Amino acid sequence: MIRTMRRRIAILTGGGDCPGLNAVIRAATKAGVHLGYDVIGIKRGFEGLASPFQAIELNIENTANILDQGGTILGSTNKGRFSAKVGVNEARAVPQELMDDVRKNVEDNQLDGVICIGGDGSLSIALQMHQMGVPVVGVPKTIDNDIAATAFTFGFDSAVACAANALDRLHTTAASHERVMVLEVMGRHTGWIAVHAGLAGGGDVILIPEIPWEIENVCEKITQRKAMGRPFTLIVVAEGAQLPDGGQMTLAPVSEHQQIRLGGIGQWVADQIQERLNTETRCVVLGHLQRGGAPTYFDRCLSTQFGAHAVRLIEEGRFGEMVCFEPPNISSVPIAQAVQRLSTVDPSSSIIQAARALNISFGDTPHFQNPFPNSQVQAATRVEKFNRS
């Protein structure tokens, strides 16, 4: 095939949809066109990169009004032939013959670079492509904020805004009817959404995968609030929070073609509270509401920077790298450093300490504990030094 004069890059979106995907597509397209690239969009994620090759032209005109649109104009899929994560977070390599087909299509279509926008599973596929010689760069995407090597992923702030808004609404009805309201949010392996939304929305109990909890401690917190004249309680629980016995609530049997579907922990918590305390309890599951709708302004800004800097990586020939957010700058790291090791909430982190200082319960203890134990030691040391002087 005769090489065309103009350079060419492709953009694809893999995995679940997420606010900010279109903003990345728009930014990468504008930056690519500005630098002299022809830009194409791959339809239906990695499926469109295999045969039959499915692509559309992207330009300034057809990406002009998508900055604030949710979803992805290119379509996506998180199951099928390119499922890198199946069952209970089981990693699976894409078959060699399928990856050979992808590499051939990249060569036949004279692509100088492929921008892969996705989460841990999609970026694992991108890493496999890079190892086979495909010129790929990554953009981290997930509302769960669980990708390592970046402070934040786009979509996370939008999901937190949705969950915090739900807590604002639940607060008034909980107070009016003296109810316990349980809000189940996304968070397959991590509690980032639950913690940030719980803090921003005034939650009283937050249950996350990183901190083991007991339902007795949750009930004790509700009882304490009633004794203090607060006859209602707001509880936020991540869908991946393990049951006290170590199990997880699922919506469907384990499949060899896609990851396990989690859900139902919120209703389990609500049922246990109502049975044990004989208090009116309701459960609300946000589900895919967190994935949909327009991205927040923070996510639009982050997505736009990610898209522009992904093109920069291609321009500089830095394939096999992923753009990342290292406040206040956008940087990059090898994709290999970002995948297959999740970013989880540290139980001793400052945000958990702040929540505990506000008397928010994580279900791991029935009573309030000083979240700053080191401060007590330091204070005692200062007093001792003062007395000696």
Quick one: pLDDT at residue 257?
A: 56
Which residue ranges does the chain devote to CATH 3.40.50.450? Answer: 7-154+295-337
**pLDDT class for 263, splitting at 50, 70, 90?**
confident
Find the Cα–Cα–Cα–Cα dihedral 23, 317, 33, 9, rounded to 10°.
-80
Higher pLDDT among residues 145 and 16, named by residue: 145
CA dihedral of 260, 263, 264, 265, whole degrees rounded to 10: 100
Where along the chain do the CATH 3.40.50.460 domains lie?
Answer: 160-291+345-369
Residue that the structure tokens 């999901």 belong to = 159
Does the structure show a pLDDT above 90 at 3?
no
Q: What is the pLDDT of residue 379?
A: 52
Confidence tier at 182 by pLDDT (50, 70, 90): very high
Superfamily for domain range 160-291+345-369: Phosphofructokinase domain (3.40.50.460)
End-to-end CA distance of the chain: 85
| Parallel/antiparallel/unpaired status of strands 281-285 and 233-238 | unpaired
Options 3.40.50.1220, 3.40.50.450, 3.90.850.10, 2.60.40.420; CATH of 7-154+295-337: 3.40.50.450
pLDDT at 378 over 80: no
- Percent residues over pLDDT 90 in the chain: 77
Task: Print the SS3 string covering the chain.
Answer: CCCCCCEEEEEEECCCCCCCHHHHHHHHHHHHHHCCEEEEEECCHHHHHCCCCCEEEECCCCCCCCCCCCCCCCCCCCCCCCCCEEECCEECCCCHHHHHHHHHHHHHCCCCEEEEEECHHHHHHHHHHHHCCCCEEEEEECCCCCECCCCCCECHHHHHHHHHHHHHHHHHHHHHHCCEEEEEECCCCCCHHHHHHHHHCCCCEEECCCCCCCHHHHHHHHHHHHHCCCCCEEEEEECCCCCCCCCCCECCCCCCCCECCECCHHHHHHHHHHHHHCCCEEEEECHHHHCCCCCCHHHHHHHHHHHHHHHHHHHCCCCCEEEEEECCEEEEEEHHHCCCCECCCCCCCHHHHHHHHCCCECCCCCCCCCCCHHHHHHHHHHHHHHHHC
- Nearest residue to 315 via CA among 44, 34, 78: 34
Model pLDDT, residue 87: 42
- Positive or negative, the Cα torsion across 83, 89, 93, 99? positive
Whole-number Å distance between alpha carbons of 218 and 278: 14
Which residues contact residue 129 at a Cβ distance below 8 angstroms, ignoring those fewer than 6 apart?
99, 102, 103, 114, 116, 136
Cα–Cα distance between 7 and 37 in angstroms, integer? 5
* Mean predicted lDDT score pLDDT of the chain: 90
**What mean pLDDT is predicted for residues 48-52?**
92
**What's the mean pLDDT in 25-32?**
98
- Asked if residue 1 has pLDDT above 50, the reply is no
264: region left, alpha or beta (phi > 0 left; psi from -120 to 50 alpha): left
73 contacts: CB under 8 Å, gap ≥ 6? 22, 25, 41, 63, 66
pLDDT band at residue 251 using 50, 70 and 90 as cut-offs: confident
Residue 184's DSSP bridge partners are 237, 285
Taking only the tens place, the pLDDT of each residue in 198-248 is 999 999 999 999 999 999 999 999 999 999 999 999 999 999 999 988 888
Question: What is the structure's pLDDT at 367?
Answer: 76
pLDDT of residue 386: 47
Cα separation, 153 vs 14, in Å, equals 14
Residue 385 in this model has a pLDDT that exceeds 60? no
In this structure, of 13-17, 181-185, 214-218, the range with the lowest mean pLDDT score is 13-17
List the catalytic residues.
144
pLDDT number for residue 66: 97
CA dist 343 → 109, 120, 192, 233, 234 (Å): 36, 10, 9, 29, 26
Q: What is the pLDDT of residues 163-180, one digit of tens each?
A: 999 999 999 999 999 999
| CA distances to 138, 321, 360 from 334, in Å | 9, 4, 38
Question: For 282-332, how does the pLDDT look when each residue is reduced to its tens digit (9 = 90+)?
Answer: 999 999 899 999 999 999 999 999 999 999 999 999 999 999 999 999 999
pLDDT at 368: 75
What strand order describes the sheet that includes 7-13? 55-58, 37-42, 7-13, 113-118, 136-140, 321-326, 329-334
Query: Which of 176, 169, 179, 273 has the alpha carbon at shortest distance from 226?
Result: 179
Q: How many CB atoms lie within 10 A of CB 162?
A: 22
- pLDDT reported for residue 77: 77
**Per-residue model confidence as pLDDT tens digits over 63-118:** 999 999 999 999 987 666 776 654 445 556 888 899 999 999 999 999 999 999 99
Q: What is the mean pLDDT of residues 178-190?
A: 95
Question: What's this model's pTM, rounded to 2 decimal places?
Answer: 0.89
pLDDT of residue 88: 46
What's the pLDDT at 89?
53
